[in-house]
Amino acid sequence: MTEEAKELGADEELTEETGITGSGLALQLPNGRTELLRDTAMSGLLNAGKIDGKWQSYVTKPEFCLIMNTIFPHIRTKRLVLERWGKVSAIHSQADGGYEIIPISAALEIAVDALRKRFGKLVFTSGYNSHSRTEAVWELPDAQSALCQKYQDALDGTMSQVPVNFMPVVRFRSSDTANSAVTLVPGFRKPGDKAIISFVPGARTEHTKGGKEEDVSGLDLFREDAGMIYSQFEKSMEKIAALKDIEIKHGCNAVIGLAKKLVISRKYAEAARSTMEMFTDGDIGNPVTGHDLYLAMTECISEAVRSGASQKTIMDTEEKVYRMLKFDLTEYDKGGVVAW
């Protein structure tokens, strides 16, 4: 990789990282500079070429470059290139009002102010920062009693698992690479567990200049979204109420079927199956609810955290588990033997 690094005028270690575990690509900019391309910028690169699909996995890197370099001269729309830590981390469009990064420090101040005004005391429990995203999580101890009561009220009339001593939390995430948004997601944590159980996608503010209203900045839009975070908890209660009305007769089989559908590692899914066995007292004839099934599946996230998985793996597992809320859960309620 030494010769390649010299040719690109790039750091040798970064060049090796890009070639072995990254995109394997470099991007020549209009100013003549050549920059290494981080894998988080791949979706923006394809979007810049106005192409999509997974065709790139079927061609070699030289073939991919040939295709993209044939397309680019015909694309007239300008793009914003975000360089961070020695690589191009994102490529953004100037369409729809243009791209404007919402400053993380300012967004965090807005989030903390809005949460304190609505929920009282905040307890910061974890944070994360990388080239592609920033994350912060706060517990809401002053709101625990009221929100857990709402949670239990949403489960009223069923035999669903009751959220004993759950702690309401809010997670802040900002990504100005592939996901290009600032999000505030409400959820709950089980006692002694770092995983977050969320029932709604939360508030999402794009990194744009405001779109239709030119005098409204992305920061203004985020301030408005943050001020309405309580409504996201209300939406969570609606989802919980809907889940508790779904009857599942074969809980363990449903866990296995969902894990296979969502491509969740068996290493993590076994924790979910064990939790489901506890919910049914080991009797496969004991029915559970859709809410119970979701709680069991969140154990996949907890197990990923406990096993020391990377932030990316944990985040991917969270997204996979959350995706099951869009499924018809009764399709996975199958009798007999369901194999891994």
Q: Which residues pair with 189 in a beta bridge?
A: 167
DSSP assignment letter at 156 = T
pTM of the predicted model, to two decimals? Answer: 0.73
Q: What is the pLDDT of residue 2?
A: 43
Q: Point out which residues pair with 88 in neighbouring strands.
A: 37, 83
Contact of 331 with 321, CB cutoff 8 Å: no
Do 29 and 35 form a contact (C-beta atoms < 8 A)? yes
Instruction: Inform me whether the pLDDT recorded for 202 exceeds 70.
Output: yes
Q: What is the pLDDT of residue 27?
A: 81
How many Cβ atoms from other residues are within 10 Å of residue 157's Cβ?
9
Residues 108 and 223 occupy one common structural domain? yes
The reply to whether 166 and 274 lie within a common domain is no
pLDDT(264) > 50: yes
Phi and psi (nearest 5°) for 279? -60, -35
Q: Is 327 buried (19+), middle (13-18) or exposed (0-12) by CB count in 10 A?
A: middle
H or E segment and range at residue 153: helix 144-154
Please identify, among 187, 209, 244, the residue that sits at the C-terminal boundary of a domain.
244
pLDDT in tens, 23-68: 678 888 777 778 888 776 777 777 766 676 667 778 888 888 888 8
Residue 175 scores a pLDDT above 80: no
Measured from the Cβ of residue 78, the count of other Cβ atoms closer than 10 Å reads 11
User: Residue 96's pLDDT is what?
Assistant: 47
pLDDT above 90: percentage of residues in the chain = 49
Examine the domain organization and report whether 130 and 232 are in the same domain: yes
Map tokens 């197990």 to a residue: 303
Same domain, 223 and 108: yes
Looking at residue 129, what is its pLDDT? Answer: 84
Q: Are 288 and 210 in the same domain?
A: no
Which of 91, 93, 87 shows the shortest CA–CA distance to 25?
Answer: 87
Question: Does 96 or 103 have the greater pLDDT score?
Answer: 103
pLDDT at 59: 84
Q: pLDDT at position 36, please? A: 82
Q: Provide the token pair at 280.
A: 């049914």
CA distance 152 to 93: 45
Closest to 221 measured CA to CA, from 106, 79, 91: 106
Let me know whether 263 and 240 are in one domain: no
Q: Are 63 and 111 contained in the same domain?
A: no
In this structure, are 263 and 173 located in the same domain? no
Domain-located, residue 153: yes
Mark which of 190, 217, 244 sits at the end of a domain: 244
Whether residue 98 is contained in a domain is answered as: no
Note whether 177 and 190 are same-domain residues: yes
Is residue 338 assigned to a domain? no
How are beta strands 203-206 and 247-248 bridged, if at all? unpaired
Q: Which pLDDT value is given to residue 84?
A: 63
Model pLDDT, residue 95 = 52
Q: Side by side, which strands form the sheet with 134-139?
A: 123-129, 134-139, 167-175, 181-189, 203-206
Residue 87 has pLDDT above 60, yes or no: yes
> pLDDT tens digit string along 114-171?
999 999 999 999 998 876 678 999 999 999 999 999 999 999 877 777 777 899 999 9
Q: Taking residues 91-100, report their average pLDDT.
A: 58
pLDDT at residue 231, as a whole number: 96
Calculate mean pLDDT across residues 260-277.
Answer: 95
pLDDT at residue 5 greater than cutoff 50: no
How far does Cα 326 stand from its chain's mean position? 15
Q: Which of 2-16, 163-177, 199-213, 258-272 has the highest mean pLDDT?
A: 258-272
**Mean pLDDT across 179-184:** 78
Are residue 180 and residue 269 in the same domain, yes or no? no
Q: Which residue has the higher pLDDT, 287 or 169?
A: 169
What are the structure tokens assigned to 260, written together?
A: 């296979």
Q: Alpha-carbon distance 320 to 135, whole Å?
A: 19
Selection from 37-46, 100-109, 153-162, 185-194 with the highest mean pLDDT = 185-194
Measured distance CA(88)–CA(76) in Å, rounded: 20
Burial of 151 (0-12, 13-18, 19+ CB in 10 A): buried
In a domain, 269, yes or no: yes
Strands (E), the chain: 25-28, 34-37, 79-84, 87-93, 123-129, 134-139, 167-175, 181-189, 203-206, 247-248, 288-289
Between CA 162 and CA 276 the distance in angstroms is 14
3-class secondary structure, 287:
coil
- Round the average pLDDT of the chain to a whole number and report it: 83
Secondary element (H or E) of residue 116: helix 104-119
Listed residues 71, 93, 115: the one ending a domain? 93
Q: How many domains does the chain have?
A: 3
- Dist. CA 261–CA 280, nearest whole Å: 22
pLDDT of residue 157: 74
**Model confidence at 299, in pLDDT bands (50, 70, 90)?**
very high
**In this predicted structure, what is the pLDDT of residue 21?**
45
Which domain does 269 fall in, by range? Answer: 247-332
What average pLDDT does range 265-271 have in this prediction? Answer: 95
At 177, is the pLDDT very low, low, confident or very high (cuts 50, 70, 90)? Answer: low
Task: Say if residue 236 is in the same domain as residue 213.
Answer: yes
